[in-house]
Chain A
Amino acid sequence: MFLQINQINKEYTNNKVVNIVLDNVSAAVEEGEFISILGPSGCGKSTLLSMVAGLVKPSSGTILLDSVPITKPGQDRGMVFQQAALFPWLNVEENVMFPYKKEMKKEEAIEKARHYLQMVQLSNYGKHYPHELSGGMQQRVAIARAFAMDPKVLLMDEPFGALDEQTRTRMHGELERIWLETKKTVLFVTHSISESIKLSERIIVMGTRPGRIIADIPVKLPRPRRFDAPETIELEKRINQLLKEEIDKVVKEELSYAENR
Chain B
Amino acid sequence: MQKIGKQFIFFIVLVIAWEFIVRAGGWTPDVMPKPTDVWEAMKRGFVDKTLLYDLRASFTRLFIGLAISLALGTALGIILAKSKTADDTLGALILALQSVPSIVWLPLAIMWFGLNEKAVIFIVVLGGTLVMTINMRMGIKNVPPLYIRAAETMGSKGIDQFIRVILPASVPYAVTGMRLAWAFAWRALMAAEILSTGPGLGYTLKYASDFGDMSLVIAVMILIGVIGSIVDLIFFQRIERNVMKRWGLDMN
Contact = CB atoms under 8 A, between A and B. Distances in A.
Contact-size category for A: 20 to 34
Given A85-B147, A87-B168, A149 B154 contact: yes
Interface in A37-92: 53-55, 73-75, 77-79, 81, 83, 85, 87-89
A75 B155 contact: yes
Nearest to B157: A73
A99 interface: yes
A98 interface: yes
A179 interface: no
Contacts of A183: none
Interface in B148-206: 149-150, 152-157, 164-165, 168-169, 171
A89 B165 CA distance: 9
B5 interface: no
A73 B246 contact: no
B154 A131 contact: no
Given A78-B153, A79-B153, A131-B245, A85 B146 contact: yes
A54 B151 CA distance: 12
Given A81-B149, A85-B146, A98 B247 contact: no
B164 A55 contact: no
B150 A81 contact: yes
A32 to B, nearest CB: 21
Given A81-B146, A87-B147, A88-B246, A55 B169 contact: no
Contacts of A78: 153-154
B140 to A, nearest CB: 15
Interface residues of B, number: 20
Interface string B99-134: 000000000000000000000000000000000000
A85 B248 CA distance: 12
Contacts of A136: none
B246 A99 contact: no
A75 B154 contact: yes
A89 B144 CA distance: 14
Interface string A146-190: 000100000100000000000000000000000000000000000
B152 A55 contact: yes
Contact of B156 (A53, A83, A89, A99): A99
Contacts of B155: 73-75, 99, 149
B153 A55 contact: yes
A129 interface: yes
Interface string B23-51: 00000000000000000000000000000
A196 B79 CA distance: 46
Contacts of B248: 88, 130-131
Given A55-B152, A55-B153, A73-B152, 4 more contacts: A54-B153, A73-B155, A88-B247, A129-B246
Interface of B: 146-147, 149-150, 152-157, 164-165, 168-169, 171, 245-248, 250
13 contacts: A53-B153, A55-B149, A55-B153, A79-B149, A81-B146, A87-B147, A88-B246, A88-B247, A88-B248, A98-B154, A131-B247, A145-B154, A155-B153
